[in-house]
Structure 1
Amino acid sequence: MVSLAGSQIPSPSRGQSPCAAARPQRRQGHSMRTIRSALLQPDSSPVPADGGADAGDSDIENLTDSVIDFRLRELAATAGPAHPAAVAKSSSAINAAATELLDLSRDFSDYSSFNSDISGELERLASATGARAAPRPGPGAAAVVDLNDLESMDLSADAAPLERLEPFVRACVRALGPGAGPDARRAAAARIRLLAKHRSDVRELIGVSGAIPALVPLLRSTDPVAQESAATALLNLSLEDRNRSAITTAGAIKPLVYALRTGTAPAKQNAACALLSLSGIEDNRATIGACGAIPPLVALLSAASTRGKKDALTTLYRLCSARRNKERAVSAGAVVPLVHLVGRRGSGTCEKAMVVLGSLAGIDEGRQAVVQAGGIPALVEAIEDGPAREKELAVVALLQVCSDSPRNRALLVREGAIPPLVALSQSGSARAKHKAETLLGYLREQRQGFGCRAGAVVATSLAR
């Protein structure tokens, strides 16, 4: 796991509005809309973006996408025909606005075979000792099993059938017991983390072995290695549907939030991933929010690596399907870093930030926060200059911001949004065209209503 210093949100300088301070830096001399906007707002000036780009993020971007992107595909698939069973299970819980956002997020990221264990314990364990011969199965295997053999064992289904791994699982569970020493418990958590990495059948075996309740207390360990291994082991185990209920029943949500707040960078990221997986149970979403997960997730938007930002964004997106969690996210200050991420093109986080912004703009407090943070100009800039996917997501977010607010529509017109929206309505994707036309219709109503009111005022003054 690579830990990188995250970007900081610039604070407003003296005499500068919070809106302007939060607005991402724009490219000068590039946009006629920017020039028009500058003429209309002579007192506002862009604040330079943060000077510290994530130096190592390009390397992280080349890694296999984390489990969060994999789970997002599963979430997005519930809105489409590809998985009818998943649709039947979740359709009653998703309202119209959430369904639309899910539909728009089908191509949220590139998906590939995922690596749920993103902390690299394979390399760490492999370097601990030299290769050892794997034990031969036999009647006395449980008594003579050596957990160190896992470090060099081929754990594929062909090379390691369940009956061969079962003694190792039992030995790990014993080593996690309250009578074991801290070193033994730390090592056992790391090995369960390894065993649960790839195979569904092994995850199921571990789930019924009693390992889950034994791992939960390690989430509050003062040993950062033990805490990280426990968080990642529970993440890996949560990929098995049957284990999610067991993890919830074991009381893991609050300790996972604790790890999210206090752990190492990998522990925080993997705890966020585990919470996302548990949020697949709808009733858990309110519980996760009530246990305090939202503020540390918001903190990851500013301080984490690019991969950590992606995981935090996706977890927030899932949790914010609950209205109370939207309110918590807005109160925790999520909108300012989200707007900042919208302005960071090519970072891999821009599109996800737009989707979360659109979700938060579904409530009044969220709409106000988006405007105050400079979200309207940032989204309009994306419609004008961004790639096709960003244009589509930006116009959807703006629809949320402006649909029920004449004031925000007026701000959108003042920002010079009409020309890029017209261009999008003519050349975008089918969905982007439809959304752009809808938003243009709102703006036409706004201007016509203003004209009628102005005419009435003039007529009244002349009658006098």
Structure 2
Amino acid sequence: MVSLAGSQILSPTHGPCTTTTSSSSTRRPGHSMRTIRSALLHPDSPPEPASHPRPTAAADDEADSDMENLTDSVIDIRLSELAATAGPAHPAAVAKSSSANAAATDMLDLSRDFSDYSSFNSDISGELERLAAAASASATPSPPSPAVDLNDLESMDLSEAASPLSHIEPFIHACIRALSPDSPPDARRGAAARLRLLAKHRSDIRSLVGSSGAIPALVPLLRSTDPTTQENAVTALLNLSLEDRNRAAITAAGAIKPLVYALRTGTAPAKQNAACALLSLSGIEDNRATIGACGAVAPLVALLSAGSSRGKKDALTTLYRLCSARRNKERAVSAGAVVPLVHLIGERGTGTSEKAMVVLASLASIPEGRDAVVEAGGIPALVETIEDGPAREKEFAVVALLQLCSESSSNRALLVREGAIPPLVALSQSGSARAKHKAETLLGYLREQRQGGGCRAGLGAATSMAR
């Protein structure tokens, strides 16, 4: 997508591609009166140095278990072929300790609704309308076989009973011929739209389209200067990527860099669907580092700030998957992801708050991520969620706070000064079993801090302010 040369096969051993940096919002989230009062108690001591000690292996295992097992939950149950491959594809997860596995199971149960299917219910632009427009505006395409009229696809019943594969195959080959570089631009646009439609409905059609040679023919269109052609190619590849074997073929055809190009330059639907296609390709673990190295993180962060509600959800889901690689976490922090993520915590009722907290927790697993979350006001925003948010959001918030505070005494002291103890105590008594466990764990860290004298003054000041 970046250049014709960029359509070559890219492996994780290649050097990183040039990344772009997106600007991020600087507006701070609103604070409650409790937060404003707590700000008066900010200590004079400097913040913890950037060279934080790395978390212990046990803490890493528990945090990674909580977060990594959310990966499969972003894939809707209706995409069983994709979800079924996500588990076996990561045998390393089986090697977690029994206690970490128990915590992971808890978080997986908690996060079954993490995705509202927006990430894969992506073909929203109206294929039939586009096909009609393409048919009326197109020049004569490269001639298909005499028995095939591509315009018939507009009204065809594509159910398995009405259209067996033997009936569909001639249309697929006619579309591939129309994608030839020698075909007129309108013919290529129409053929991409028809393949987009065919690949949307049935697994067996997706397999047939992929094995018939359509994928290498679609990849060059990802760099098309015609927005509609680019959007059709992006969405056709997204639909094809829902088939497991096609993901490997799309990767081998060199589609990652062109998809990143579409993510930066396309229409709003093209950007959203490019994000979803990259999410699907990141189901191949080796692709995650490659996608990050090719510059996907910065435009995903830009989508967090400027995208539609659906675009934000798709960007959040894709960022979460990519940030299983440490280098991509560093890229996300450098690209300014933390500020929009903290802002999204306050957008309750939109479906983005929970996802934003999960991505924040992932970024907080590295020292620079923890520093950025604190600087952006993440701790007050998370404490306010525990005070006032819905039950599910409280559970995600306490997980993020655990990640921020488990290895940072300064963050624990800040948490106390933000007035977190009363809502955590309430959550440990009245929340769900998972919420109680997480809140009790976090309160245990705060007790250790108090017994060590690290935040005794903060506790006393918080108590006096409460009076």
**TM-score > 0.5 by shorter chain:** yes
Task: Report which stretch shifted further, 228-237 or 92-101.
Answer: 92-101
User: What SS does the corresponding residue of 2:112 show, helix, strand or coil?
Assistant: coil
State whether residues 238 and 273 of structure 2, in contact with CA within 8 Å, keep that contact through their aligned partners in structure 1: yes
Higher RCO (C-alpha under 8 Å, 6+ residues apart): 2
Structure 2 gaps, min length 5: 1-22, 44-69, 78-82, 137-143, 458-467
Alignment partners' CA distance in 2, 1:446 and 1:452: 6
How far did 1:403 drift?
A: 0.6
Structure 1: how far apart are the matches of 2:145 and 2:104? 50
CA deviation map 1:129-179 (0-9, x unaligned): 69xxxxxxxxxx942311111111111111111111111000000001122
Match of 1:37 in 2: 38
Q: CA deviation at 1:389?
A: 0.3
Seen in structure 2, the aligned counterparts of structure 1 residues 374 and 90 have a Cα distance that, compared at 3 Å, is same
- Cα deviations by residue, 1:245-281 (Å, 9 ceiling, x for unpaired): 0000000000000000111111111000000000000
Structure 1 residues 430 and 318, CA gap change in structure 2 (3 angstroms) = same
CA separation of 1:89/1:116 partners in 2, compared to 1, >3 Å: closer, same or farther?
same
**Aligned position for 2:174:** 171
**Which residue identity lines up with residue 362 of structure 2 in the other structure?**
S
Off by >4 Å, runs of 4+ in structure 1: 74-77, 83-86, 93-104, 110-114, 126-130, 451-454
Partners of 1:297 and 1:407 in 2: how far apart? 31
How many pairs were matched up? 392
TM-score after normalising by structure 2 = 0.78
User: Where does residue 327 of structure 2 map in the other structure?
Assistant: 324
Q: Secondary structure at the match of 1:410?
A: helix
Give yes or no for contact 1:76–1:105 (8 Å, CA) kept in 2. Answer: no
Query: Partner residue of 1:49?
Result: none
Alpha carbons 1:72, 1:314 under 8 Å: kept: no
Gaps of 5+ in 1: 1-7, 12-21, 43-69, 78-82, 131-140, 455-464
Alpha-carbon distance between aligned partners in 1 of 2:232 and 2:133, rounded to the nearest angstrom: 17
Displacement of 1:125: 2.7
Map of 2:242 onto structure 1: 239
Residue 73 of structure 1, CA deviation: 3.3
2:342 corresponds to 1:339? yes
Aligned to 2:163: 160
> In structure 2, what is the Cα distance between the partners aligned to 1:208 and 1:334?
38
CA–CA distance in structure 2, aligned partners of residues 453 and 37 of structure 1: 15
2:28 counterpart residue number:
23
1:121 corresponds in structure 2 to: 127
Is residue 209 of structure 2 the alignment partner of residue 210 of structure 1?
A: no
- Report the Cα distance in structure 2 between the residues aligned to 1:437 and 1:90, rounded to whole angstroms: 31
TM-score, structure 1 normalization: 0.78
Distance in 2 (alpha carbons) for counterparts of 1:357 and 1:419: 23
Question: What do the CA deviations read for 1:264-306 (whole angstroms, capped 9, x no partner)?
Answer: 1111110000000000000100000001000000000010000
Letter in 2 for 1:37: S
What is the match of residue 49 of structure 2?
none
Question: CA 1:85 to 1:350, structure 2 compared with 1: closer, same or farther past 3 Å?
Answer: closer
More deviation, 163-172/153-162: 153-162
Residues 58-457 of structure 1 mapped to structure 2, 5 A cutoff: 73=73, 87-92=87-92, 99=104, 102=108, 104-110=110-116, 115-126=121-132, 142-450=145-453
Alignment-mate amino acid for residue 316 of structure 1: L
Shift of the 214–99 alpha-carbon distance from structure 1 to 2, 3 Å rule, reads farther
- Residue 261 of structure 1 aligns with an amino acid whose one-letter code is R
Whole-angstrom distance in 2 between the partners of 1:371 and 1:76: 33
Aligned AA for 2:30? Q
| Shift, 1:185, TM fit | 0.7
Counterpart CA distance in 2 for 1:211 and 1:36 is 62
Query: Are the equivalent residues in 1 in contact too, given 2:72–2:86 (CA < 8 A)?
Result: no
Give the deviation of 1:388 after TM superposition. 0.4
Q: How big is the alpha-carbon RMSD for the aligned residues of Structure 1 and Structure 2?
A: 2.9
Q: Which amino acid aligns with 1:118?
A: I
Q: Which amino acid aligns with 1:164?
A: H
Q: Which amino acid aligns with 1:24?
A: P
Q: CA 1:244–1:86 in structure 2 vs 1: closer, same or farther (change >3 Å)?
A: closer
**Distance in 2 (alpha carbons) for counterparts of 1:215 and 1:452:** 60
Distance 1:215 1:93, change over 3 A: farther
- In structure 1, the residue corresponding to 2:453 is in which secondary structure? helix
